[in-house]
Amino acid sequence: MTRTDVRGRPSADRARSLLVVGLVVAALGTLGEYLTGVPGFPLVPPGPIILVAAAAAVALLPWRWAPAIGLVAALFILVGAVVSGVPLTLLATPAVVGQFLSALVQIVGLLLAVVAGVAALTRAVRRP
């Protein structure tokens, strides 16, 4: 059963859990891009490392501002993806199935993480 606040909305714990899921999904998508041979990745891609470290921090740190770490990481990677244009280019070419699916997974994970991070932080601010 989902815990709810006074107004019947899902609790901050659920938003925080969705933030962690979004970060991990985005990391898997980024790793998929690396493994399918998308050009421009360094030998050790930092994106998945940043996202998994942020997911671990959000999941394990007990303080209420921990979701800020995940939100900043998701926004950092999302802005980098949009500025580079690589995921958007990959989404425009569905013929290369592995790269297309990896970019789709990455973007969906990042968007989920941003929305859940904003929700988790909003609830953290309102909590006494």
Per-residue pLDDT of 49-81, as tens digits, reads: 999 999 999 999 988 899 999 999 999 999 999
Q: What is the pLDDT of residue 36?
A: 95
Residue type, 63: W
Q: What is the pLDDT of residue 1?
A: 39
Per-residue pLDDT of 23-38, as tens digits, reads: 999 999 999 999 999 9
Q: What is the pLDDT of residue 2?
A: 46
pTM of the model: 0.89
**Token pair belonging to 87:** 């995921």
CA dist 17 → 31, 59, 66, 103 (Å): 21, 7, 12, 22
Residue ranges in the chain assigned as alpha helix (H):
12-35, 46-60, 67-84, 86-91, 97-126
